[in-house]
A and B are shown apart, each in its own frame.
Chain A
Amino acid sequence: MISLEKRQQPSQVITAITPLIAVALTMIVGGILFSFYGADPVESIRVIFWDPMFNQQFAGFTRPQLLVKAGPLILIAIGLSIGFRAGIWNIGAEGQYIVGAICGAGAGLAFYPSESPLIFPLMILCGALGGLAWAMIPAFLKVRFGTNEILVSLMLVYVAQNILISVSTGLLRNPEGMGFPGSRNFKQWDAAHNAEIIANTGMHWGVVAAFIAVIGAYVMMARHIQGFNIRLSGEAPRAARFAGVNPGRVVFLCLGLAGLLAGLAGLFEVTGPAGQVSGQFNAGYGFTAIIVAFLGRLHPIGILLAGLLMALTYIGGELAQLMLGLPGAAIQLFQGMLLFFLLATDVFTNYRLRFGKREVLS
């Protein structure tokens, strides 16, 4: 008989290695799945995990793209992880990301075609404030009226999407766009373009911001009193209150930080890789970042690695479609497996397997 037995203490070792086990299991089961499509399993796993970094033909392009794809994921996931540690479930990063992009882009476009060097900093500021303001709505409602931040933040994503559609066909529409929706293209306006800092490295300001956020979050959570308060609020809310932590302030801090970082990510994306405000520029980074935050164990370094891994499966998945003719749905299934196996192996953090006969109490 195999049975599960609760551990007295959650295992630190297991917590650290479950992501690796999950990745390994995903590779095995994914390989089997791909073999059903007539692809060589080893080959397909190699295309997904190896080729984006080391294929001679592609890697020169895809390696920098890993950073481009991982940057916003990491930036948003860092903000979310802080809230998650405090037990504040902000599911609406996608909305904060969109509103940040709209506010930042709008602030810049108001000065078109100025080439002032102040434009881009102003856009960054407005992007951050836009995301922050959008996150303040669920924060305020939670603190003042006790509403559930999961529902409110999620619903605000749909509101943000409708605002995005409205501005891309109205307020921010490119007046020279022949009646087509979408703003001016920031790639063709140097003062507002979030270009690569060093050519062909994928390093744009959003990626830099993501790295800064990782370090900042690490220092705050490990060394700063606010980090302690946040962790305490999540792990022992009553103890936190006795210790004089103001729960309302923690809500504002956590949602505010998450909104700010998501807003920044949106602004950097819209002025860089996406190039223009359009109804489709958001691509779901705010939701994927939730997976990244958990895959990274809500730890800043873990999130950094998880973001890169997630980016790898995206880009590798595209290469697999292109080179092996695998259907897109199979790739999505493969990515879903990663989270599934992570959650499944998570059981072993708190439980251990016990072999042998179950003791029967008589």
Chain B
Amino acid sequence: MKRRTLLTTTAAATAMALSFGSAALAEAEVTAGFIYIGPPGDGGWTYEHDQARQKMEAHFDGKVKTVYQENVPESADAERAITQMALSGADIIFTTSFGYMDPTNAVAAKFPNVKFEHATGYKREHPNVTTYSARFYEGRAIQGHIAGKMTKTNKIGYIASIPIPEVIRGINSAYIHAKRVNPDVEFSIVWLYTWFDPAKEADAARALIENGADVVLQHTDSTAPQAAAQEAGGVITFGQASDMYDYAPMPRVSSIIDDWAPYYIERVQAVIDGTWESQDTWDGIGKGMVGIGEITDAVPADVKAEALAMKDALASGEYHAFTGPINKADGTAWLAEGETASDGDLLGMNFYVEGITAEVPN
């Protein structure tokens, strides 16, 4: 609300709206822009980015102004939205979906003085582009453990979004840890090819539940699968990207929470200080970028204790979620006994681990 009134008064002051950004800039030192794939009200991915935006704005107490655009498709529209944001006077722009990767780099070439931060991609083609992501797979390991212990039908449903390494990594991590505690466990994976589509997400959840799954994991942004699981009853889920605590204690028994606020504060501070540099950040539970939401009483105390122990081990680095022996689905060896996966292998992961019977879409 504060941002709106600020803008409208600025607008009224410069009657013909000759110079929006620069007029606003006189009041705030830095303008930070955000491009969202969904609406901030999705309750998941975009919600957390928007929460972090607000926390960051509050942290700087008037020194930083933020703008955002929601529901930006990963098409030619993205490039225009980012360009308009740069033209409007943003000093740093966070593009918060994988599909903005090429558009972000294309716009960065045209605005060398604007800093660009692309979430979950790998391309840094210009010195003013940074990439950042979180090690969500660490949270998936804990999910997998709880899921494997809790399932009675031994069928776990997985609502997957777009087949990029990040999503495949999550599936593998959850599977490995479910299988370790429950050798009979089976994964059914449904690909939706979208990040945010509540109707499709709910349909997928219902289909999985009808096929006997009593655990539904999701890598999509809305709370629709949670609602579908609640309706079905006797099914457990995990909050994705956000706590989704509205669905606790059942079906949501825990969650993976993305906490972007410290990162956003750090990066905007770097812009203010003039120390911003292109880099690649990939932090996990240890640095607090990935949080594990409260494990509810629906989970037996011993399972909860094991899960929390795993969380601590992951946070301290004592345990790596991909520790051998692990074979690929085609039977070839990947990691030897005790060997841990390299970041390079994880970043380009496009195979399932042994035991998953489906095939990676290609």
Contacts and interface: CB of A to CB of B under 8 A. Distances in A.
Interface stretch (A54-62, A110-118, A292-300): A54-62
B7 A323 contact: yes
Contacts of A40: 8, 11-12
Contacts of A335: none
B164 interface: yes
A180 interface: yes
B76 A275 contact: yes
Interface stretch (B64-72, B246-254, B311-319): B64-72
Interface string B178-195: 000000000000000110
B74 interface: yes
Contact of B7 (A51, A282, A324): A324
Interface of A: 37-40, 43, 46-47, 51, 55-58, 61-62, 65, 68-69, 165-166, 169-170, 173, 178-181, 185, 187, 269, 272-276, 278-283, 315, 318-319, 321-325, 327-329
Interface residues of B, number: 49
B336 interface: no
Q: Among the interface residues A166, A274, A276, which one has the most CB atoms of the partner chain B within 10 A?
A: A274
A324 B165 CA distance: 37
A189 to B, nearest CB: 13
A278 B74 contact: yes
Given A68-B76, A179-B350, A169 B361 contact: yes
A65 B80 contact: yes
Interface of B: 1, 3-5, 7-8, 11-12, 17-21, 39, 67, 69-71, 73-77, 79-81, 83-85, 87-89, 98-99, 102, 106, 122, 162-165, 193-194, 347-350, 361-362
Contacts of B80: 65, 68-69, 315, 318
Contacts of A321: 69-70
Nearest to B40: A327
A39 B164 contact: no
A62 B17 CA distance: 16
Given A273-B79, A322-B67, A280 B20 contact: no
B350 A328 contact: no
Given A40-B11, A280-B73, A321-B70, A57 B87 contact: yes
Contact of B77 (A55, A170, A283): A283
B61 to A, nearest CB: 19
B102 A178 contact: no
Contacts of B1: 38
Nearest to B75: A283
22 contacts: A39-B8, A43-B12, A55-B17, A57-B20, A57-B21, A58-B84, A58-B87, A69-B80, A169-B163, A170-B362, A178-B165, A185-B102, A273-B76, A275-B102, A278-B74, A279-B162, A282-B75, A318-B80, A322-B67, A322-B84, A324-B11, A325-B4
